[in-house]
A = this chain, B = another copy of it.
Amino acid sequence: MKLSKEEAESILSSLNFRHEMGTIIAVLQDSETKEVLMVGNMNKEAVMNTLTTGLVHFWSLSRKSLWLKGETSGNLQLLQDFKIDCDGDAILVLVKSQGPVCHTGNRTCFYRDSSSLNLTSSLS
């Protein structure tokens, strides 16, 4: 999915960039498997680039720079659809992955689950 600049600007105007360094929270979800892949921050430029190029961009809080996801690894994340939350400070980005999202090589950054965290007495 790609939007025109005008459409993207309309979306931008409905967002509340209230998080760190003028960002919203972006949650990446695999559009087919519904697996949550990662969480990052997007500033206005990252949202604009994501919507108009169809490739997920983030704002890196640590590096303080715009970041095309997969620029070095080649694992681009293709925008399929998106949803905005009730107060406009978070966006759910539905993607088709061209490769693992996580720098560890895992398909998702959320690969550490309760069974891998050495919990012995968890009760259901």
- A residues sitting closer than 8 Å to B (CB atoms) are 1-4, 7, 10-11, 14, 19-20, 25, 27, 29, 34-36, 38-39, 80-87, 90, 92, 102-104, 106, 109-114, 117-124
Contact = CB atoms under 8 A, between A and B. Distances in A.
Nearest to A38: B85
Question: Residue among A4, A81, A110, A122 with the most chain B CB within 10 A?
Answer: A110
A89 to B, nearest CB: 8
Contacts of A35: 34
A47 B27 CA distance: 19
Nearest to A103: B86
Given A10-B118, A39-B39, 5 more contacts: A1-B122, A19-B20, A27-B27, A83-B113, A86-B102
Contacts of A2: 122-123
B83 A122 contact: no
A123 B81 CA distance: 10
